[in-house]
């Protein structure tokens, strides 16, 4: 099995090539924020691909997702519907918890 190789420079080049409305430095900063938040390369790549294809998205959306302790705490569900259902339940519990704490 081949290990996934980091390609930050190429990802930045691709993002600004496909989205000329994005500022290169702004996107690079958002990418760095995701890395500092502990996101794995595959998670970053998947999120960036989603954002590139969303005409309303901006680099700040990646930065905001990386900065959210709530998103980091819930993690990434499995691809099965039970995994997504658990994430929905966790989010509802968090929203209804007056302390705002995530288990």
Spatial distance between the Cα atoms of 66 and 24, rounded to a whole number of angstroms: 18
Q: Over the chain (103 residues), what is each successive 10-residue block's mean pLDDT?
A: 83 96 96 92 91 94 83 50 62 58 48
Give the pLDDT confidence score for residue 103 in this predicted structure: 44
Give the pLDDT confidence score for residue 77 in this predicted structure: 52
Tokens of 16: 């600004």
The neighbour count for residue 64, using CB atoms within 10 Å, is 13
**Confidence (pTM):** 0.64
The neighbour count for residue 27, using CB atoms within 10 Å, is 23
Tokens of 17: 């090539």
- Measuring CA to CA, how many Å separate 68 from each of 16, 34, 61, 102? 24, 10, 11, 12
Nearest to 12 by CA among 2, 4, 34, 66: 34
Nearest to 48 by CA among 69, 36, 66: 66
């Amino acid at each position: 099995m081949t290990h996934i190789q980091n390609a930050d420079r190429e990802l930045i080049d691709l993002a600004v090539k496909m989205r000329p409305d994005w500022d290169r430095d702004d996107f690079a900063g958002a990418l760095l924020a995701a890395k500092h938040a502990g996101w794995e390369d595959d998670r970053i790549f998947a999120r960036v691909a989603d954002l590139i294809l969303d005409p309303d998205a901006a680099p700040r959306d990646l930065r905001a997702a990386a900065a959210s302790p709530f998103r980091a705490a819930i993690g990434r569900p499995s691809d099965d519907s039970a995994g997504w259902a658990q994430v929905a339940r966790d989010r509802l519990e968090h929203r209804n918890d007056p302390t705002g704490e995530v288990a």
